[in-house]
Structures are given as C-alpha cells and as structure tokens.
Amino acid sequence: MPKLLVSLVLCLLPALVQAQPGGGGFEGLAAEMTDQERAAAGIDGLSPEQQEYLDGWLRSRFELQGSVVTAPDVPPLEPTLSAAEQEQAIAVEVERRVEVELAAARQAEQVREQTADDPFEASVTGGFNGWSGKTVFKLDNGEVWRQRNDKVYRYLGDDPRVSFRRGLLGLWRMTVVSTGVSVAVAPVSRVN
C-alpha cells in the first residue's frame, strides 16, 4: 500500500500544482484530493501527524509555482519496532517464505512422481506419417520422444493422436490411437 500511495501522490502532484487558481500554494493532499482519490490512495488512513509529514515532504521535495516551499518542522516518524525487533521480524518472514517455497516444491515433486509413470495421450505435431527407425516425435504437450528400435511403419491416416504406456520392464510404448500399432520409445525431454 505505501508504494501505491507514493506512486499516486507523485503522479497527482504536477496536476495539483498546475490546478492552483491565482498562484495559491499547495494546501496538502487532504485538501487537494477528492474523496474518491483520498480513499483510493489511503490518505484518510494516515494519522494527522503522518499526513502532515507527507505534505511537508511533498512541499520540500518539489518546486511549487516556481519557488521551493520548505517543509514545516515536523519531527520524523518514530519507527514502531526496535532494530532487534525488526531483524527478528525479518528473520521470521524469511523463514515463513522459505517454508512456503519448500512446501510448494515438495508438493510439485509428489505430483511429478505420481504422474511420471501414468499412461497418457497426446498428439504428434509437425505432420505424422509413422516411423522409420530412430524417428523423433514432438508432441503437442511439449514433450519429445525417440523411437528405440529400427522398425518401420507408414501411417496414412490424418489423426496424430498417440498414447503412451510404461511396460513391465519400465520401457515405454507409443501406440497410434486410430490404428493400435505401437512402437518402443524413450523420452528425450519430459514435461513432468
């Protein structure tokens, strides 16, 4: 939210300065913005001291009507946490984020392990006319497979759908869905 607030303020400030009738000065964001703008920027959620500090910072940061307006003597806002508390809060947040990332990685690995051996179906891309020994098959799911033997099969159909199933010895077979003809294959690159 603070980044949104600062971005909004920086975007609106030139318009606010130019909109001053008769050369009046910058009267502060609360006076310059509409109710909707204040609500969207979260200005009303700031304490009076925070609003005054922000208005002073804006006055001192930007030249208004050709002259630099100095900020009133507004003491800097006191941090709400000590340095040790801030370090501890940062460490806790880092640990929380690391744990979230690790949990997501563990879950993704479990999904990959569960589905790596499951049969699946895909379509061969780039025109499919069978195989002729060591043929490479590019699939619509992004995977690439290679024929493991020298068998030849000429496919004259127009349905490029193929299914994959792992056999008893852990080796894969690709079957043309429309004809039931299969060939031994090995993955070159797998998605999961």
Closest CA to 166 of 115, 112, 117: 117
Query: What integer pLDDT is reported at residue 69 of this predicted model?
Result: 47
In which band, very low, low, confident or very high, does the pLDDT at 19 lie, cut at 50, 70 and 90? very low
Express each pLDDT in 31-68 by its tens digit. 777 888 877 777 778 888 888 888 877 777 665 444 54
In three-state secondary structure terms, 146 is: strand
Express each pLDDT in 107-159 by its tens digit. 777 666 655 678 899 999 988 999 998 899 999 988 999 999 999 999 999 99
Q: Tell me, yes or no, if the pTM score tops 0.85.
A: no
For 47, the enclosing helix (H) or strand (E) is none
In which band, very low, low, confident or very high, does the pLDDT at 25 lie, cut at 50, 70 and 90? low
Give the per-residue SS3 of 60-103. Answer: HHCEECCEECCCCCCCCCCCCCCHHHHHHHHHHHHHHHHHHHHH
Express each pLDDT in 164-191 by its tens digit. 998 888 889 999 999 999 999 999 987 6
What is the C-alpha R_g of the chain?
A: 33
3-state class percentages of the chain: helix first, strand second, coil last, to nearest 5:
40, 20, 35
- CA neighbours within 13 Å on the CB side: how many for 134? 0
Residue 22 identity (one-letter amino acid): G
